[in-house]
Amino acid sequence: MFEGFYLASGTSFDATGASLGAGKMAAIATYGVTGDPLLDGVLSGRKWAAGSLSFSFPTKSSYYGTSYGSGENLKGFEAFTAQQAGAVRDILKLYASVSKLAFTEKVESSTSHADLRFAESDATGTAWGYYPSTSATGGDVWFNNSKNYYDAPVRGNYAWLTMLHETGHALGLKHPHEAKGAFNALPGDHDSLEYTVMSYRSYIGASAGTGYTNGNASYPQTLMMLDIAAIQKLYGANFSTNAGDTVYSWDPATGTMSINGMAQASPLANKIFMTIWDGGGNDTYSFANYSTGVTVDLAPGAWTTTSAAQLATLGAGKVAIGNIANALQYLGSSASLIENAIGTNSADKISGNAAANKLTGGGGNDVLDGRGGGDTAIYSGARNSYSFGQNGDGTWTVLDLRSGSPDGTDTLSNIEFLQFNDALVQIAPVPVSIIDETAAAVPLANTDSYTVKSNHKLVVKASKGILRNDTHDDGDHLAAHLVSGPSKGKLVLKADGSFTYKPTKDFKGTVKFKYIATDGDDNSAVTVASIKVGSSKTKKSKGNDADHNVGDDQIPGPKTDAFHFQDGVKHGSSWSMPQLGFQAGMLDGLNAVLSSISHTGGQGGYDIGGLPDFSKLFAADHYWI
């Protein structure tokens, strides 16, 4: 079975005399090469100018007008079935989930036309899609009718792949084995379905002219890493997709992926062949339901193998590189990184990335490599149930001393912390990039402090978050990564520096957490942020602002002056001139005035009494008490 091919707008097949009614007038844009051969290998040089596009499933050939394209509407035209239309809707959701594209379905008619239209025709032996264009054909996609290749698209089969592929053309992607103007062919070591659904090659080195050799259910189930990167280059990245703390897991019997415990659409058979794009949060790959060991790699563009049985078969004895690929980073943003991995009860190999990873080997003798960041190996027992020590090659061995050794014996590299169920132990310093004077600057992180009432949740937006006073001499975008959390309560830190903290019930005191600021290549030193957890009781005598708490409260003077209470001030206290920070004699009589302040009850219920008009001397002054 041969894969379909595309028709670029402007070729001899793209008739210029096609006539349509009003409604198909979306603008297009052109652009030059990026200089990245992996992107240029799948980009065509044209795109839709806007990210909001319409799509439809025409039910009549006449809706395409006269003198249309290659006469597809006149040669065995047939409208899509419900299953085909459903597959296209799901595929457009995939494109939208990784990019800022937005698709709206419309009802096609003789006077109203969508930007992208899907139908069947016998004008093509397989399938083709037109590049973005303002002509009648622009964005249209056609699939052969009479051969029935595309009647039953399901994740992982040939029909599904072809719909992914042809939609890619309609959005501006080209074949990687072909050059288009200045856009060269993709380097051969990336030209296969493992990297892009636009490829004609089932595996690296396969012929582009003999058709696919994949097993029946061994085609890509999602856009692959170069498709995602290319579409994001054209239309931007969607960081709202699974932007919270997300757990991804897979079924060892069916290959079905679950997100936060909710099963997604199942593939045709027990194969996993996909790429994951995640918009943010503190995320986890969990393979706890697998009984055999897994190989997990969290690096951008790297692959995870769940089992040999679930690998896609590509033909000629070849199998896919892995089951699950990680998307490449968009403009170096760390938001798409998967931070954590949970292994099986067998021997696993788990490798991290630049984030502060939490790696759980589980049972079996595991090999854990944290790579960059402040990484933590997670263990199920108490600290005194393990022995650990450093080996001559710099690795660490952690041995579970409990009966049956449920966590096995692990070998660790680039791991800085061991998390037991009763203690966190640091075994190595968190790596900080060391550079010479000729190298690029590293991020500089500064300490931060926050306050929250006991039994209340602290919610800090990015504008007030821990990155607000962190800098980079090169002006690079910074992302925050948690090194270690507070000892009391739960803290969730996002890459943009925003965080939430919920203290342990009834706890009062100060907790600290550690983080690093990173530009994707270099890290700051480990930096401490503190949170003071105070009383949750309201004491109105402490201030007249909304929170009634000690500190930074104001009592308006007769004009524009304001008094601020310092921490520890209580109603009825007296103050002396040195506490105010003024020189003696500057505000004569102030002590007497302050001693006359009395609390009259209620928010803002303070009687200043005879407060002199200091605004004549110090306009809009703030007196700190």
pLDDT in tens, 171-190: 999 999 999 999 999 999 99
Calculate mean pLDDT across residues 549-553.
Answer: 39
Q: Which of 180-189, 375-384, 470-479, 572-581 is predicted least confidently?
A: 572-581
Q: Please, which pLDDT band fits residue 589 given cuts at 50, 70 and 90?
A: very low
- Give residue 432's pLDDT: 66
pLDDT digits (tens, 9 = 90+) for 479-497: 888 888 899 999 999 999 9
CATH class for the domain made up of 448-534: mainly beta
Alpha-helical segments (H) within 110-152: none
- Give residue 177's pLDDT: 98
Strand stretches in 407-508, DSSP E: 409-413, 417-419, 424-426, 448-453, 458-460, 479-484, 490-493, 499-502
Say whether pLDDT at 567 is over 80.
Answer: no
Q: Please, which pLDDT band fits residue 619 given cuts at 50, 70 and 90?
A: very low
Question: What number of CA atoms fall less than 13 Å from residue 471's CA on the CB side?
Answer: 3
In terms of residues, how long is the chain?
625
Say whether pLDDT at 585 is over 60.
Answer: no
Q: Which two tokens stand for residue 170?
A: 């309609």
Q: Please, which pLDDT band fits residue 25 given cuts at 50, 70 and 90?
A: low
Say whether pLDDT at 623 is over 70.
Answer: no
Say whether pLDDT at 221 is over 80.
Answer: yes
* Beta-strand pair 562-565/553-556: antiparallel
Calculate mean pLDDT across residues 200-217.
Answer: 98
Q: Please, which residues bridge with residue 313 across strands?
A: 319
Calculate mean pLDDT across residues 55-63.
Answer: 98
Percent of the chain predicted with pLDDT > 90: 73
Helix (H, G, I), strand (E, B) or coil at 327: coil
Say whether pLDDT at 153 is over 80.
Answer: yes
Superfamily the domain 28-226 falls into:
Collagenase (Catalytic Domain) (3.40.390.10)
Calculate mean pLDDT across residues 509-536.
Answer: 85
- Give residue 441's pLDDT: 58
Say whether pLDDT at 622 is over 70.
Answer: no
- pTM of the full structure: 0.70
Q: Please, which pLDDT band fits residue 521 given cuts at 50, 70 and 90?
A: low
Q: CA 471 → CA 63, 444, 450, 475, 519, distances in Å?
A: 57, 5, 19, 7, 10
The secondary structure of 352-421, three-state, reads CCCCCCEEECCCCCCEEECCCCCCEEECCCCHHHEEEEECCCCCEEEEECCCCCCCCEEEEECCCEEECC
Calculate mean pLDDT across residues 252-264.
Answer: 98
CA-based torsion, 150, 154, 156, 161: positive or negative: positive
Q: What are phi and psi of 236, to 5 degrees?
A: 85, 165
Greatest mean pLDDT range, 257-271, 483-497, 556-570:
257-271
Q: CA 620 → CA 116, 558, 560, 561, 606, distances in Å?
A: 62, 11, 5, 5, 20
Calculate mean pLDDT across residues 280-305.
Answer: 98
Q: Please, which pLDDT band fits residue 524 given cuts at 50, 70 and 90?
A: confident
pLDDT mean across residues, the chain = 84
Q: Which two tokens stand for residue 226?
A: 């170069």
CATH architecture of 238-426: 2 Solenoid (2.150)
Say whether pLDDT at 426 is over 80.
Answer: yes
Say whether pLDDT at 12 is over 90.
Answer: no
pLDDT digits (tens, 9 = 90+) for 113-125: 999 999 999 999 9
Say whether pLDDT at 207 is over 50.
Answer: yes
- Give residue 285's pLDDT: 99
Say whether pLDDT at 583 is over 90.
Answer: no
Would you list the domain boundaries of the chain? Answer: 28-226, 238-426, 448-534, 540-624
Q: Please, which pLDDT band fits residue 24 given cuts at 50, 70 and 90?
A: low
Question: Measured between alpha carbons, how far is 561 from 543 in angstroms, rounded to an integer?
Answer: 15
Say whether pLDDT at 434 is over 50.
Answer: no
Calculate mean pLDDT across residues 399-409.
Answer: 98
Q: Which helix (H) or strand (E) holds 580?
A: helix 577-580
Q: Which two tokens stand for residue 116?
A: 């992208």
- Give residue 477's pLDDT: 83
Q: Which of 97-101, 267-271, 491-495 is predicted least confidently?
A: 491-495
Say whether pLDDT at 70 is over 70.
Answer: yes
In our burial notation (b when 16+ CB lie closer than 10 A, e otherwise), range 554-588 reads bbebeeebebbbeeebeeeeebebeebeeeeeebe
Question: Measured between alpha carbons, how far is 409 from 423 in angstroms, rounded to an integer?
Answer: 19
Q: Please, which pLDDT band fits residue 523 given cuts at 50, 70 and 90?
A: confident
Percent of the chain predicted with pLDDT > 70: 79
Say whether pLDDT at 457 is over 50.
Answer: yes
530 near 343, Cβ under 8 Å?
Answer: no
- Give residue 26's pLDDT: 85
